[in-house]
Amino acid sequence: MNNLASERVCLAEKLKLIDRYWNPKIVGELNGQFIKVAKFKGEFVWHHHENEDEFFLVIKGELKIKLENRELVLREGDFTIINRNIQHLPFAEEETHVLIFEPKSTVNTGQARNELTVDCEWL
């Protein structure tokens, strides 16, 4: 666990350290939530989280999130909250930088364990 209390965190600098898509890294911790940054490109995987809601904020680029009956399009500065048990599929045509807030227990692929499932580490 890193103690970042009262420290400056530059998201642009942190994002430069990420060299793999769909591999979120922890940059902070707040009230039982991890604050993560990630680079997305291409299609992820349909999944849901049984016990966790997720907050996605687009820092750079455009993120599409397919839902069962519609598609969200998030551009720079936009955010959404995907509630628990909602099937979703993130997709980014070009490299997109994202800030994520989610409970510590959240696994990136939810119930869909596969080659994209990662253990999130501190950056």
Across the range 29-58, mean pLDDT stands at 96
- Write the CB contacts of 84 (distance below 8 Å, at least 6 apart in sequence): 48, 49, 50, 51, 52, 53
All structural domains of the chain, each given as residue ranges with its CATH number in brackets, are 11-122 (2.60.120.10)
Cβ pair 35, 48 in contact under 8 A:
no
Higher-confidence residue: 72 or 4? 72
Q: What is the mean pLDDT of the chain?
A: 94
pLDDT confidence band for 70 (50 / 70 / 90)? very high
| 30, pLDDT greater than 90 | yes
Q: Which residue has the tokens 């009262």?
A: 6
